[in-house]
């Protein structure tokens, strides 16, 4: 019996959604895995209003402009295209304000600082980003498996070496855990959400998803060796995963706690 590592299809993924047919945040995972961050975040922008609390940042493709009044503060090169970094204004922006020069305004989330509607929209966006990150982590794992299949050590394919298999198995478990946590949020809190913005979010679940995806993506990135740190597709994909986690990985108020956990896990 062959013991070769085979990249598995996403659990419950089915057929990859066609562009514009994403029905819910969970569908974003398959889009991210197969098409990358630009397509997945474009689909997220069509599904939910772009939202962030005052002073927070989001990463968006060119096809998804932020609400009016937001400031562009940088850009990130992913493996499939460029993402813009936008910061929400610290002061409330009135609905219907002028759009940024990049294009027409997207659907604007309520901007009342501390308001329940604004927090719900922000939380729903973060859950969508978590689904995108899950697919991107699987995409990075697929790339690692593809690369290591073509390399050998002592006549054995590198992908089948026990230490490598262990990293890949841990990554697969992390991806399943993230799906279970996000699925639990969707199932358990659906009654508390709204049809247009999705379910309410458990901050603890979101922080846990961020932590497990951080750990798995960094471990898989190390499988690329030195080539993973050259400015190529693998490095850009890993950096995109990391920055999406920093921008939208935790709800405000849990940042300090999650940072402390990350430090402990890294140690």
Residue 136 structure tokens: 């991107």
Longest dimension (CA), the chain: 65
**Which CATH number belongs to the domain containing residue 219 in this structure?**
1.20.140.10
DSSP annotation string for 63-128: TSPPPTT-EEEEEEEETTEEEEEEE--SS---TTPPPPTTSS--PBPP--TT-HHHHHHHHHHHHH
Share of the chain above pLDDT 70, in %: 70
Question: Which residues, 6+ apart, have CB-to-CB distance to 169 below 8 Å?
Answer: none
Yes or no: say if 127 and 25 are a contact pair by the CB < 8 Å rule: yes
Greater confidence, 166 or 10? 166
Answer whether residue 12 is part of any domain. no
Residue 9 in this model has a pLDDT that exceeds 50: no
Answer whether residue 238 is part of any domain. yes
Dihedral of the CA atoms 15, 244, 201, 203 (nearest 10)? 140
Yes or no: say if 265 and 219 are a contact pair by the CB < 8 Å rule: no
Greater confidence, 194 or 67? 67
Across all residues in the chain, what is the average pLDDT?
78
Yes or no: say if 59 and 40 are a contact pair by the CB < 8 Å rule: no
Answer whether residue 11 is part of any domain. no
Yes or no: say if 210 and 257 are a contact pair by the CB < 8 Å rule: no
What pLDDT shows up at residue 111?
A: 44
Answer whether residue 19 is part of any domain. no
CB-side neighbour CA atoms (13 Å) of 202? 14
Question: Which residues, 6+ apart, have CB-to-CB distance to 240 below 8 Å?
Answer: 37, 59, 76, 78, 79, 83, 136
Greater confidence, 196 or 185? 185
What pLDDT shows up at residue 108?
A: 45
What pLDDT shows up at residue 253?
A: 58
Question: Which residues, 6+ apart, have CB-to-CB distance to 69 below 8 Å?
Answer: 89, 93, 97, 98, 100
Residue 1 in this model has a pLDDT that exceeds 60: no
Total domains in the fold of the chain: 1
Q: Where in the sequence is the domain holding 66, given as residue range(s)?
A: 25-266
Residue 251 phi/psi, 5-degree rounding, is: -80, 145
Answer whether residue 214 is part of any domain. yes
d(C-alpha 95, C-alpha 117), whole Å: 14
DSSP element (H, E) containing 60: strand 57-60
Q: How confident is the model at residue 17 (pLDDT cuts 50, 70, 90)?
A: low
Give the gyration radius of the chain's Cα atoms.
Answer: 19
What pLDDT shows up at residue 225?
A: 86
d(C-alpha 147, C-alpha 25), whole Å: 30
Mean pLDDT in residue range 4-25: 56
Antiparallel, parallel or unpaired: β 57-60 and 71-78: unpaired
Mean pLDDT in residue range 75-80: 94
d(C-alpha 87, C-alpha 69), whole Å: 9
What pTM does this model have?
0.78
pLDDT, tens digit (0-9, with 9 covering 90-100), for 116-160: 888 889 999 999 999 999 999 999 999 999 999 888 888 888 989
Answer whether residue 107 is part of any domain. yes
pLDDT, tens digit (0-9, with 9 covering 90-100), for 92-123: 544 444 444 444 444 444 444 457 888 889 99
Answer whether residue 10 is part of any domain. no
Residue 263 in this model has a pLDDT that exceeds 60: no
What pLDDT shows up at residue 259?
A: 42
Mean pLDDT in residue range 32-36: 96
Greater confidence, 43 or 255? 43
Burial (CB < 10 A; 0-12, 13-18, 19+), residue 187, is exposed
pLDDT, tens digit (0-9, with 9 covering 90-100), for 212-261: 999 999 999 999 987 767 778 999 999 999 999 999 888 775 543 444 44
What pLDDT shows up at residue 167?
A: 96
Answer whether residue 202 is part of any domain. yes
């Amino acid at each position: 019996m062959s013991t070769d590592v085979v990249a598995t299809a996403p659990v419950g993924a089915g057929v990859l959604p066609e562009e514009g047919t994403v029905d819910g945040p969970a569908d974003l995972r398959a889009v991210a895995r197969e098409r990358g961050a630009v397509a997945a975040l474009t689909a997220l922008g069509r599904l939910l209003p772009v939202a962030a609390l005052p002073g927070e940042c989001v990463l968006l493709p060119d096809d998804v402009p932020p609400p009016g009044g937001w400031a562009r503060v940088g850009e990130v090169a992913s493996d499939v295209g460029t993402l813009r970094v936008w910061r929400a204004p610290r002061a409330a922006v009135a609905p219907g304000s002028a759009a940024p020069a990049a294009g027409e305004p997207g659907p604007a989330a309520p901007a009342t600082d501390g308001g329940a509607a604004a927090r719900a929209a922000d939380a729903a966006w973060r859950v969508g980003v978590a689904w995108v990150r899950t697919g991107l982590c699987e995409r990075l794992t697929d790339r690692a498996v593809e690369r290591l299949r073509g390399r050998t050590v002592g006549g054995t394919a590198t992908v089948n070496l026990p230490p490598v298999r262990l990293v890949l198995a841990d990554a697969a478990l992390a991806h399943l855990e993230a799906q279970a946590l996000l699925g639990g949020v969707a199932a358990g809190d659906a009654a508390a959400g709204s049809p247009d913005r999705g379910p309410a979010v458990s901050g603890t679940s979101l922080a846990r998803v961020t932590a497990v995806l951080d750990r798995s993506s960094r471990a898989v990135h190390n499988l690329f060796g030195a080539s993973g740190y050259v400015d190529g597709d693998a490095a850009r994909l890993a950096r995109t995963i990391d920055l999406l986690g920093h921008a939208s990985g935790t709800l405000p108020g849990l940042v300090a706690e999650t940072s402390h956990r990350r430090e402990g896990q890294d140690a």
